[in-house]
Chains A and B, each alone.
Chain A
Amino acid sequence: MTDRRALFFLGASLVVALLIPLTDDEFRFVPIGLALVYAVLAIASFLDHRSRQSMAEEEDRHSR
């Protein structure tokens, strides 16, 4: 099963990154920082999802 949360954060990161050139220089740090935060959240969510999946598989193997 795909990690929908990671995909959502990745999408948000891309949307925010697209806004960087449209933002005034004075406030450009906001979309830059936010795009990075969403990228980190996407990676963290993906890793969390993968570790939960492998733990579930491990438990499944033990129960058999």
Chain B
Amino acid sequence: MIGAIALHEWRRLRAGMMFWLLLAFGQLIVAWLSFAQLETFAGIAPQLKAGASTLGAMDLVITPTFNTLVLLLLLCAPLLAMGSLAGEVQSGRIALWLSSPVSDTQIAIGKALGLWLATLPLLLSSLLTLAALGLGVDLDWPRFALAAAGLLLFGLWLGCITLLLSSLFDHPAAALAASYGILLFLWLLDSLSGPEAPWYWFALLPHVKPWLAGLLRSQDIVFFVATAGASLLFGSYALARRRGDT
């Protein structure tokens, strides 16, 4: 049932204008930035070679574009997720979900997976664009694959977080505002406090950047898995509260 819910969510998003606008906007930004960076790289490549620099296309083109993709996902995911549960409540369709023989946990997991599916076209098309650079320049493929896997996991994490925030509100606009607020806070948290602060662990960038730079650390995996799991748990709890069961 979780798979069916995920596919339905993906179908629902695909039928709306927002999904296509975001996809077109995202692809435009990724293409423009990656070619601008490639042009710069091509310009300085002879000097890098002459200076025996270890920097290559991976550092100067791919990783910066991956960082841009993270930012794009942070901008797009709340727009896709705002209607996920808040929109169902606002339109009255939540009755269809809550009167069906499906558990709240299945709804939360299925919808989060559906949101992740909706980010895949942007992610995969961008990854293919960047991978195509490998035809002309030397790329560090294991590092590329690791960063790509990190981006996919980050997309799933965003689906879980934004779904939780959508489950807390009755209006999509309120869910959108809360999502941007929370994500911006997590994005800036490391610059607001030092590594010794207890809440530093929740800062987003220190977990994302090493992964995109090709460094896989268990603490980053634990961060993403734990916060995504907690979001799903609280999301299904929010649905149960809506019924008055808790």
Bound pair: A and B?
no
Interface set of A (CB-CB < 8 Å, partner B): none
Interface set of B (CB-CB < 8 Å, partner A): none
